[in-house]
Structure 1
Amino acid sequence: MIKDDLQTKTYKKLAVAFSGPSNSGKTTLIVKIANILQDRGYKTVIVKHDPKDKARFDQAGKDSDKFSQTGSDVAVVSPNRTTLFKQSTSTVDEIISLFGTFDFLLVEGLKTLPLPRISIFRNSLDESYFAVSNAIACDESINKDEIPKELEQLNLNNPEEVILWIEKNAKRV
């Protein structure tokens, strides 16, 4: 008897979060990572924090639209709703249970969430992110000597390097 691959597949269920100021490159990096992981056959889920209830899936160019175009399952969590066409907010644990099986959960925002976190910087550092970060992904516009030594440094323009960090440091959920 041939077994169904979906029933026998073991999912990684690894979760990691990304933070950083507006226009630092969070969405671009997450999209690149999700596309690479999807191309390798992994199932990815992306959760975006929308603190101002502004996200709409049907608007071209918006983060949520870019995320959904990767082929990943996507949830947008805001104070008043979770965009899965559900009219109430959800905890991350509830979202994880809604998605069921996945290999990688990529969270944008939600700084208080207890997940390993990569903070993204371009053009300037914001020290307020250091306390909630495990690694810093930045480009050549950042003076790396200003990054605390205890935070691992990643190349923002090298998604493969970031994926290796995720595989090594992500939390199994």
Structure 2
Amino acid sequence: MKKRLAVAFTGPSNSGKTTLILKIARKLIHEHKLEVAIIKHDPKDKARFDVEGKDSYKFSDTGAEVIVTSPNRTTYFSQRKSELEDMVRLFGEFDILLVEGLKNLPLPRISIFRNEIDVDYFAFMNALAIDKSVDISQYDVPKSVDILDLNTTDEIISWILKNAKKV
């Protein structure tokens, strides 16, 4: 039976969310031997999963729900907004789900910042991952927020394993 734990990451563009998620996923998979699933939110609807002219693009372009399957992978193209539960169901079995974005989801959340912190994120975060470019003494961080070193992947993984929510 898989753990099915989830945690989310938020932060401004170019704060390092994707880089951190990649480091965490690789370590969870290769060192901790866990199955990892990842959801990335695309708020500006600019992600492209296939190249114009290819069959999967043509099928998806019709507005249909499309699954492309091959011996080594399955790709799902949807024209509908999905709720977290719908996406979790698509993954089936996993140990850890890492979600980039979607700050309104009811998941434990790590916010990532470099140089300065946007205090508007305080209401959405359970942990704050920063590097030495942030002078934490300049901010009134809520006592309930754990402060993590953005460059210490093991510390962040430890926080995730302790705080992630069962989904």
Tell me which interval the TM-score lies in, with the shorter structure as reference length: 0.7 to 0.9
Describe the shift of the 1:157–1:53 C-alpha distance in structure 2 as closer, same or farther (beyond 3 A).
same
Between the aligned partners of 2:37 and 2:144, the Cα distance in structure 1 is 29
Q: Are 1:137 and 2:129 an aligned pair?
A: yes
Between the aligned partners of 1:101 and 1:125, the Cα distance in structure 2 is 35
Give the drift of 1:86.
1.9
Encode CA deviations 1:39-87: one digit per residue, 9 max, x unaligned: 032111100111111012359xxxxxxxxxxxxxxxxxxxxx9982122
Between the aligned partners of 1:58 and 1:44, the Cα distance in structure 2 is 23
> What percent identity do the matched residue pairs reach?
58
Q: Specify the SS of the correspondent of 1:87.
A: coil
Structure (1 or 2) with the larger CA radius of gyration = 2
Describe the shift of the 1:38–1:58 C-alpha distance in structure 2 as closer, same or farther (beyond 3 A).
farther
Q: Structure 2: any 5+ residue segments left out of the alignment?
A: 52-64, 67-74
- Counterparts of 1:102-117 in structure 2 under 5 Å? 102-117=94-109
TM, length-normalised to structure 1 = 0.78
Q: Specify the SS of the correspondent of 2:156.
A: helix
Between the aligned partners of 1:140 and 1:171, the Cα distance in structure 2 is 29
Deviates more, 1:148-157 or 1:28-37: 148-157
Q: Structure 1: any 5+ residue segments left out of the alignment?
A: 1-9, 60-80
Aligned match of 1:43: 35
Letter in 2 for 1:160: D
Question: Which of structures 1 and 2 has the larger relative contact order (alpha carbons within 8 angstroms, sep 6+)?
Answer: 2
Count of matched residue positions in the alignment of Structure 1 and Structure 2 = 143
